[in-house]
Structure 1
Amino acid sequence: MSNYQYRKSSNAKPKIEKFDFSITQWASVFGMAIFFLFFPYQSGLFNGFTYDFEPPIYEAAMYVSAVFLVVLAYLSRNMKFDCPEFPLGTGMVLIPFVYWISSFQAVSYHNAVVMVFVTAVYAVFFLTAQSLVSTRATRLAAELILYVSGYAIVIFGLLNAMGHIYKKDAIWFTSGAYRLTSVFQYSNTYAGFLLALLLCAAFSAVNAKRRVVSWLHAFMLVPIWISFMLTYSRGALVLLPVLALAFVVFLRLDRQIAYAGALLVSAAASFVILGPFTERYVEIMQIVLPKFDGDPAKLRSVWDWTSWQNWLLLLAAAIVTSFLTVAIRAAQPWLEHRLSRLEKFRFSSFVLPAASALLGALVFWIMFGSQIAGKLLPQSISERIANINFRQHSVLERMTFYQDALKVSADYPLLGAGGGAWNALYEKYQNNPYVSRQAHSFFFQTLVEVGWIGLLIVIGLIGIIFAFYLRQYWKERAEQPGHFVFFILVFSILAHSMIDFDMSYVYIGALVFFSLGVLGAVYRDNVRLPRFSLLNQVRWRYLYPAFLGLMSVTILIQVYQEYTAAHYYQRALTMAVKEQRPLHELLDPLDKAIAYSPAHPTYNYVKIDWLSQAFRQTGDRSYALQAKELIERIKSTESYDRMIILSKYRNHKDLGEYNELMETLEEGISKFQWDIQFYETAIMEYALNGNSVKATDPDRAQIYWNRGMELYEEILRREQLLASLPEEQLQGRSFDVTPFIRQAVGQILYGQGRYEDAVSMLQPLVESDLRDIYNRIGVRHYLAALHKLGQSDTELMNRLIEADPNEHAYLELLLQ
């Protein structure tokens, strides 16, 4: 049963708005609502490509796949193949498909499979929104879901900021500031989310049809602003005025003024209270947050006066903003009338944005070119804003990430290196020893994972939807339809995702692709594609839904296998840590985990590690051989896993396979070119191997020693490269000649008869702690080299023998 409502459009043609009630449609909408309201609290479903983040993603994927089966029941009956829904949906399905194809050449097969699951979830949200959000009622439901979800996350963050609840890492203490992160546990992503939510809320506050809805959105502007400022995110702050001015272009002149007014009023109210609010916020955090890992949080009572002062400040500013915004909204009819003549000019939409840009730049220059900002804003915030420039370390580091991503794509140009490839490969291609398991850009990370083909599919789909939507939207721009809020949301998040890894959060990704689906659905009935009309016939129309259903069931089964494997793995850890079970009992659940997920590096590494420990404790060679077999199998799918390579090295050492051992270390150096530990271990092994064969095969000893010295020279070369980095750019991990390397190189120089060089190399170890055996080895060779030069150091000799009386005999043996 359906009825139709007519409304006026800008072309003076009646437009039909359909209101159908379907149980499957509304059940599916309700299922999507459950996801957005409950799953974000699992760290935003962050995909960090480690086991710790995987179980919540598996749970979400299984839930979404099950809901999609209900969606398909509706889609199979109501889909129109001769409208853009079919080609756009097919384009979306291509994204997980290209991730699946790329997984066959993936450098990390397990991570590639996880990304297939994640992109399949995104496809489900896109297809669901395209199919379900087809009427004004369902669009309002979708809008309500996203706002309730977003506002709940803001309130959750503020509850943490007031000390009433505590979630680990919901607030970071870094660089001398308490940075708010809410559910995401990463302040920059939270800032990107708040940026989109703020711009959406301001639009709805001035565009809502009902005054009470406008008041509610306006009320949330101040909490969002305060939360946004407490993230201390400079990138999001720079993007805010740029995006606000970009969106203003798409509004009528009266709405432009109202939109800018709502943002300015809420910003002014927020900055008025920001100083005292931040002071109390810092005071609360200094008490609440645990000083050490494992300590409990000291939560504040709901009646705590310090917290209540902040709540009252927030409430007062929010109420003032609400009334002023509603007043601005009430003035819109008068503004529309007064500006109607100006509206007729061709470029009238650009007048206010251009004037606002000039005025904003002037205000920024006045505030931060003088002491005004320091008086209006808390010192920590004003200093962070004043330091915004293109030479700051975060900008330089991101540029390095992007350049390194292009290096990876040059070797994997077409289909990329598979999902999670950046996490696996970045240390091979990195310019300096930074640590970043994310490329800090959705588009560069996509390029690394699925190559130029995959990136073009993603950009092409988004670009086509934007072009299709905006072309149709501009025709009815005068009516200012409320669904423009979905465009604001998508564009804002994607803009921020260009400089950070927001889309690595499955919740954020689902939000974006769900909103893209809405944009694709809004005007789908305005365009007809006759060439696809044949598919509307009964004998063809069920093929596409059947295909999607088959894919959904397949994904559901595979995800369930991974989820079951995670359950068995967790059981094995519990038995090992809490129950202290014997090895044969521990291996039972661990083997089941590996059986369900054979390519999971963590499960295999833990088993390898347990078998290696058993070998060292019992001397039973069969354990080491089992570990070797497991290493060879998992390395075929995880060839860039650092822990697997180290396990292979230790296994060869256990089995006395020294040639294979050195090959493994050389492989580690080639794949982790800034990991000083690989250099340390390799140089030491070359030194020891040279010492062990120098009497029987001096030529081979020289080959070992020469290679050790080549690695040492490579370390010195790379140190010079680091010295050439811009002063503002952080180096990352330490990459220096360590005492361990120094004593290993000293041994090589001594073995080569370069005694003066050995003395020079080992001299810094003279003042080291001689209780450390490695320091004693270095000092022993130092004294031996001095002896060869006809010199001595009696005091140092006495210290060495005092640390270990056996050193006298060791030194005599070395001199012989």
Structure 2
Amino acid sequence: MGTKAQNQVKKQADKKSIADKIIFVLLSILIIGAPLFQGLFFQKEIMISNIFAFAIFVVFLLNKKRNKEKLIIFNSPYDCIGLLFIIAYLLPIVFFQWADLRDAIDILIRYTTYYAIYLMIKDMAQFERYKEYFTKVLILGSLVVAFIGIFGATGYIKLEDVIMGNRISSTFQYPNTLAALMMAMFFLVNGSIHKAEKYIEKLIYGAAGFVMLFTFIFTYSRAAWLLFPIFALLYLIFLSGKDRIASILYFVATLLPNILVLQPFTSQLAIDADTKPKALIVFFIGIGIFKVLYSIVLFVQSKLADKHYKLIYGFLGAVTIGVAILGYMALNTTVPLVFDNMAATENKTNQIQRTVKEIEGNKDYILKLNVEAIAGEVEAQWPWRVRINSVNEAGEQELLIETLGDKDVNGEIEIPFTTLETTQNISIYFTNIYPKTKVVFNEVKVIDGEENVVENIKLKYKYIPESLIARFNSIDLSEDSSATRLTYYKDSFSIFKSKPIFGGGGGTWKALYPKYQSLPYNSTEAHNYFLQALVETGITGIAVLALLIFIFVVHLLKAWKRKDTLTISILFSILALLGHSGLDFNFSFHSIPIILWALIALLETKTFEDIKPRINKIDLSGKSVGTVVPIIFAVPLLLFSISLYSAYAISVDNGKSINEIPIEESISKMEKAVLLDPFHSNMRIDLAKMQRTYGFETDNFSLVEKAENHLKKAVKHSPYMPVALQETASHYISLGRFEDAFKYLDKSTETTPLKPNSYETKSEAYAAVANYYLGKGEVEKAIDIYTNNMIGIIDEMRVANEKTEKPVQLTQNTLQNIFRAKYFVDNYNNPEKLEQLNDIVYMSYLDLEGATAVGMPWRVSDSSSGDIKYEIKKEGLKISNTGEDNEFIYSQFFSLNPDTMYEVEVVFSQESTQKNLRSHIISMVGRRTQVSEDINLEEIEDGVYYYNFNTTEDLEPGRQYIRFDHPGNSEDYFVIRQVIIKKIE
């Protein structure tokens, strides 16, 4: 080749090298930056990252086109899998199966982004140096996140929710996802150590792993704590002999310093100060200890020949035994529990909880305490409190007894208690709150009726932080968070059954869970990536996901045979992310799947070359596609992503300035936003509301018609969105098209049967329509609305509650709307009664047909010597109390005005057997008891009792309630049918 030709080739190679470096830098910024912006959980950051990724991809494709290179695909099974995921999320849109079109498009764009990132990194990682570079970038990005979390916990970085309670959450603002990332990257670090040749590199990688493990521990993520040892054990099994020993030594060298600094670091974090320099010093001391220890490990490894590795196994065995002994000692070395608030100037809660499991139901026990206490300056401020709760099989707790400390009582104290029939174990809470108080619990034990010691309770561990003990104690499938997750999983299958083939597209869980939920809860996340994929893509998508996992397993087996430690490490990083995501919503953080697909792109496909994707027996392995086709898709995706973000920016800007600019300008801005993002239902709803308002103000009914069209499209794009349905109903009410409005209101409660606010919106709409008819003098139509629609909400709620184990309550406003309707229907022929309707401040029809549907809007007192019971029946609210003490039942809050006369009307059922009771009006502000009234049911006719009272001048409106006392010690009961409180002249 001539000199001229050689120079030309060199110039092209130099240009390619420069372009590759630029693309590498841009991809590195994306990977490192992704977790830093709240993990890319929110729409703004997600859209910006999509634009950035597509822009890099276009540059990447143009660079390949300029160099006349093909975009190689189908030389790895992962190429096909990435495309299949995109198709799986496209199908619900193509076949009009979406639950929310905008969310479906959003998730489709995300998966396209992951694939683009995968293709770029995979293409560059064919060169060993770039594979190494990207590995370092992934580790560096995770290390930055870890340091931000640690510096945030010690007060040196001020970011919102960088620490939640005592849990490090860093930039994710969610500790569990941070834990998943740290766990995954720890395996990548270990693989990189094996790959590294230089001592300094091994030490740097090792220190990075120490920081990640340290951060992982202080996320207090229980699921991750359980999973990490399992993945670590499997990881070691798959490594070859020499690498396995090196990894075990590294694990030990990393774990021991972490254990050593746990207690001092936790103690320093507990200090009440803005910054905690000593905690940070402890952390760096831990790094120093690790470096010394690991340097010794590396030195020993370098001096031992392969035949001497048996010595290391012996050493590791000794270390294991030593750690076991130390662990046993740590778990059994306790000291007295001290809560010291002597230096405090305000309330500060100190509390620990201990569980005793060897407990029988319906049996007498004694809690024996040895206590030393110093009381506070205020007599009512006790130095300690002990609560003993019964815990049933479902993990639900019920108070058995509460004991408050006394300054004059020290030494041996006995607290007798009796368990319930449903008691499986007991939970004991030791608490100190008030300033200038101190308590020392020297010894606590539970004994049974025969004075046998059931358990000596370990109060304070000398070497283990209480925060760790508390988190370990709460690892229980019966705990609320675990039980709630199981409910999510159950409901996911209900959603899947409604759209089994293609699913409902991205965002299906968020859109459909309110319709299918079996218990009342609020969660826009399924807390399980696999189930979320199931409801979003149906059988089609879950088959792709299953295929991906199968390929991972096969790839792992082949890497194991080849003793390819780095590939095994990358695969375990991937499997750790996926494994933890089966228990949480990590993949809702856009940064996590970006990292996942970057890891997939680094996999060594040479270990996998005999598995070739085939379609209809056509071998696609090694087939190539030119850059033109990807560019045809990439450029529109980039422009579309820019369009979506522009719409978002306009919408946000309009929301900030809506009260400062003319409405015509706001409408114009929102019209532009809708044009740029035509699938965003909330934008259409906002625009429709402005158009309707302005249209009515200016008699421009073409604007009102446009508003209707936008609302129809919003409902079409988001058919299960309550806001879209309710706003459309409101629109039709404003036009007087009530039947159309009622259809949308019915749809809104059908899609959210366990959401009380939906019924409140519905009741307010019915009230508005009824008032419209009353204003026109059409009383019969108003009565029809009240009878068939408003009061019918009770039946709707009852039907909804029949499908759930935990009935939900209608809101107080909904109940008042229903009760006012009931009052009107009962008294519409009585003008005097109707005139009093606007003076009523509170009413409750407890005898309303189907009243069980509203749940229990009343509450009861709770004392250890009383035994009040209640039951809502067709006849009303039945109250009994066989206990020794007076107890009471009380209403929700209502509002009274100061220095005002009111009348209370109470209707009792004739079946009441308890004849003597007392009623009180209580205020939380001002004089507490506004009035007390003794009631003798034998002295009243027809069960109706009236009494008047005048409120005090110091009363503040808004926190008043009525209560009814049952004196107790009796089998008799009384039944309240109705309560009405109204203002009188």
TM over 0.5: yes
CA–CA distance in structure 2, aligned partners of residues 427 and 389 of structure 1: 27
Matched with 2:442 is: none
State the one-letter code of the partner of 1:103: I
Alpha-carbon offset, residue 553 of structure 1: 1.9
Counterparts of residues 687-698 of structure 1 (less than 5 Å): none
The question of 1:592 aligning with 2:672 is answered yes
Distance change (3 Å), C-alpha of 1:737 and 1:590: closer
Distance change (3 Å), C-alpha of 1:260 and 1:718: farther
SS in 1 for 2:462: helix
The question of 1:582 aligning with 2:662 is answered yes
Matched with 1:30 is: 25
CA–CA distance in structure 2, aligned partners of residues 642 and 555 of structure 1: 30
Matched with 2:151 is: 159
Query: Which of 192, 196, 199 in structure 2 is aligned with 1:208?
Result: 196
CA deviation profile, 1:752-792 (whole Å, cap 9, x unmatched):
649999475699779831469xxx99989999xx9996956
SS in 1 for 2:167: strand
Matched with 1:14 is: none
CA–CA distance in structure 2, aligned partners of residues 631 and 782 of structure 1: 46
Distance change (3 Å), C-alpha of 1:139 and 1:188: same
Higher mean alpha-carbon deviation, 150-159 vs 684-693, is at: 684-693
Alpha-carbon offset, residue 53 of structure 1: 4.9
Q: Please tell me whether the aligned partners of residues 70 and 624 of structure 2 are also in contact (alpha carbons under 8 angstroms).
A: no
Matched with 2:83 is: 93
Matched with 1:551 is: 633
Indicate the structure with greater helix content.
1
The question of 1:257 aligning with 2:339 is answered no
Matched with 1:337 is: 307
Q: Please tell me whether the aligned partners of residues 75 and 131 of structure 1 are also in contact (alpha carbons under 8 angstroms).
A: no
The question of 1:472 aligning with 2:558 is answered yes
Q: Please tell me whether the aligned partners of residues 62 and 556 of structure 1 are also in contact (alpha carbons under 8 angstroms).
A: yes
Alpha-carbon offset, residue 681 of structure 1: 3.5
Matched with 2:586 is: 502
CA deviation profile, 1:177-215 (whole Å, cap 9, x unmatched):
332211211111111111112333344446632211111
CA–CA distance in structure 2, aligned partners of residues 147 and 91 of structure 1: 25
Distance change (3 Å), C-alpha of 1:520 and 1:122: farther
State the one-letter code of the partner of 2:160: K
Unaligned runs of 5+ residues in structure 2 are 2-14, 333-355, 357-456, 828-832, 834-842, 849-875, 878-889, 909-936, 958-979
Indicate the structure with greater strand content.
2
Q: Please tell me whether the aligned partners of residues 31 and 138 of structure 2 are also in contact (alpha carbons under 8 angstroms).
A: yes
Counterparts of residues 58-137 of structure 1 (less than 5 Å): 58-70=50-62, 72-73=64-65, 77=69, 85=75, 87-104=77-94, 105=96, 106-137=98-129
Matched with 2:713 is: 633
Matched with 2:261 is: 273
Matched with 2:184 is: 196
Q: Please tell me whether the aligned partners of residues 903 and 949 of structure 2 are also in contact (alpha carbons under 8 angstroms).
A: no
Matched with 2:856 is: none
Count matched residues: 727
Alpha-carbon offset, residue 122 of structure 1: 0.9
The question of 1:679 aligning with 2:759 is answered yes
CA–CA distance in structure 2, aligned partners of residues 213 and 517 of structure 1: 23
State the one-letter code of the partner of 2:558: Q
CA–CA distance in structure 2, aligned partners of residues 197 and 31 of structure 1: 21
CA deviation profile, 1:400-456 (whole Å, cap 9, x unmatched):
111111111101111110111111111111112211111111111111111110121
CA–CA distance in structure 1, aligned partners of residues 196 and 598 of structure 2: 21
CA deviation profile, 1:116-153 (whole Å, cap 9, x unmatched):
11000111122223322123322211211111111111
State the one-letter code of the partner of 1:88: Y
Query: Which of 160, 185, 207 in structure 1 is aligned with 2:173?
Result: 185
Distance change (3 Å), C-alpha of 1:129 and 1:661: same
State the one-letter code of the partner of 1:199: F
Q: Please tell me whether the aligned partners of residues 190 and 209 of structure 2 are also in contact (alpha carbons under 8 angstroms).
A: yes
Query: Which of 331, 336, 354 in structure 2 is aligned with 1:367?
Result: 331
Alpha-carbon offset, residue 710 of structure 1: 4.4
State the one-letter code of the partner of 1:230: F
Distance change (3 Å), C-alpha of 1:757 and 1:486: closer
Distance change (3 Å), C-alpha of 1:259 and 1:341: closer
CA–CA distance in structure 1, aligned partners of residues 558 and 47 of structure 2: 41
Alpha-carbon offset, residue 645 of structure 1: 1.9
SS in 1 for 2:166: strand
CA–CA distance in structure 2, aligned partners of residues 766 and 401 of structure 1: 31
Matched with 1:4 is: none
Rg (Cα) greater in structure: 2
SS in 2 for 1:31: helix
Compute the TM-score of the two structures, normalised by the length of structure 2: 0.66
Query: Which of 593, 598, 601 in structure 1 is aligned with 2:681?
Result: 601
State the one-letter code of the partner of 1:30: V
Q: Whose RCO is larger (CA < 8 A, sep 6+)?
A: 1
SS in 2 for 1:163: coil
CA–CA distance in structure 2, aligned partners of residues 647 and 781 of structure 1: 39
Distance change (3 Å), C-alpha of 1:141 and 1:621: same
CA–CA distance in structure 1, aligned partners of residues 22 and 765 of structure 2: 64
SS in 1 for 2:717: coil
Higher mean alpha-carbon deviation, 252-261 vs 674-683, is at: 252-261
Distance change (3 Å), C-alpha of 1:653 and 1:699: closer
CA–CA distance in structure 2, aligned partners of residues 449 and 230 of structure 1: 33
CA–CA distance in structure 1, aligned partners of residues 223 and 325 of structure 2: 17
Q: Please tell me whether the aligned partners of residues 92 and 502 of structure 2 are also in contact (alpha carbons under 8 angstroms).
A: yes
State the one-letter code of the partner of 1:662: F
CA deviation profile, 1:784-804 (whole Å, cap 9, x unmatched):
xx99969563516999xxx9x
SS in 1 for 2:730: helix
Counterparts of residues 252-401 of structure 1 (less than 5 Å): 252-283=240-271, 287-288=273-274, 306-307=276-277, 309-332=278-301, 334=304, 336-339=306-309, 367=331, 371=458, 374-401=461-488
CA–CA distance in structure 2, aligned partners of residues 651 and 780 of structure 1: 39
Counterparts of residues 785-804 of structure 1 (less than 5 Å): 791=944, 793=946, 795=948
Distance change (3 Å), C-alpha of 1:798 and 1:222: closer
Alpha-carbon offset, residue 491 of structure 1: 1.1
CA–CA distance in structure 1, aligned partners of residues 904 and 512 of structure 2: 39
CA–CA distance in structure 1, aligned partners of residues 757 and 566 of structure 2: 57
Q: Please tell me whether the aligned partners of residues 273 and 313 of structure 1 are also in contact (alpha carbons under 8 angstroms).
A: yes
Alpha-carbon offset, residue 155 of structure 1: 1.5
Alpha-carbon offset, residue 390 of structure 1: 1.5
Query: Which of 488, 507, 511 in structure 1 is aligned with 2:595?
Result: 511
Compute the TM-score of the two structures, normalised by the length of structure 1: 0.78
Counterparts of residues 753-768 of structure 1 (less than 5 Å): 753=826, 758=845, 768=894
CA deviation profile, 1:456-481 (whole Å, cap 9, x unmatched):
113313422441x224312321xx54
Alpha-carbon offset, residue 243 of structure 1: 0.8
Counterparts of residues 526-565 of structure 1 (less than 5 Å): 541-543=624-626, 545-565=627-647
Matched with 1:411 is: 498
Alpha-carbon offset, residue 572 of structure 1: 2.1
CA deviation profile, 1:288-315 (whole Å, cap 9, x unmatched):
4xxxxxxxxxxx5xxxxx32x2232112
CA–CA distance in structure 2, aligned partners of residues 76 and 504 of structure 1: 38
Alpha-carbon offset, residue 718 of structure 1: 5.2
Matched with 1:806 is: none
Distance change (3 Å), C-alpha of 1:585 and 1:705: same
CA–CA distance in structure 2, aligned partners of residues 317 and 558 of structure 1: 49
CA–CA distance in structure 1, aligned partners of residues 463 and 892 of structure 2: 56
CA–CA distance in structure 2, aligned partners of residues 41 and 703 of structure 1: 54
The question of 1:143 aligning with 2:135 is answered yes
Q: Please tell me whether the aligned partners of residues 200 and 489 of structure 1 are also in contact (alpha carbons under 8 angstroms).
A: yes
State the one-letter code of the partner of 2:946: D
Q: CA RMSD in A?
A: 4.4
Q: Please tell me whether the aligned partners of residues 133 and 521 of structure 1 are also in contact (alpha carbons under 8 angstroms).
A: no
Query: Which of 614, 625, 643 in structure 1 is aligned with 2:723?
Result: 643
SS in 2 for 1:249: helix
Alpha-carbon offset, residue 41 of structure 1: 2.0
Distance change (3 Å), C-alpha of 1:570 and 1:716: closer
CA deviation profile, 1:153-192 (whole Å, cap 9, x unmatched):
11222222232222222222xxxx3322112111111111
CA–CA distance in structure 2, aligned partners of residues 624 and 21 of structure 1: 58
Matched with 2:513 is: 426
Alpha-carbon offset, residue 666 of structure 1: 1.0
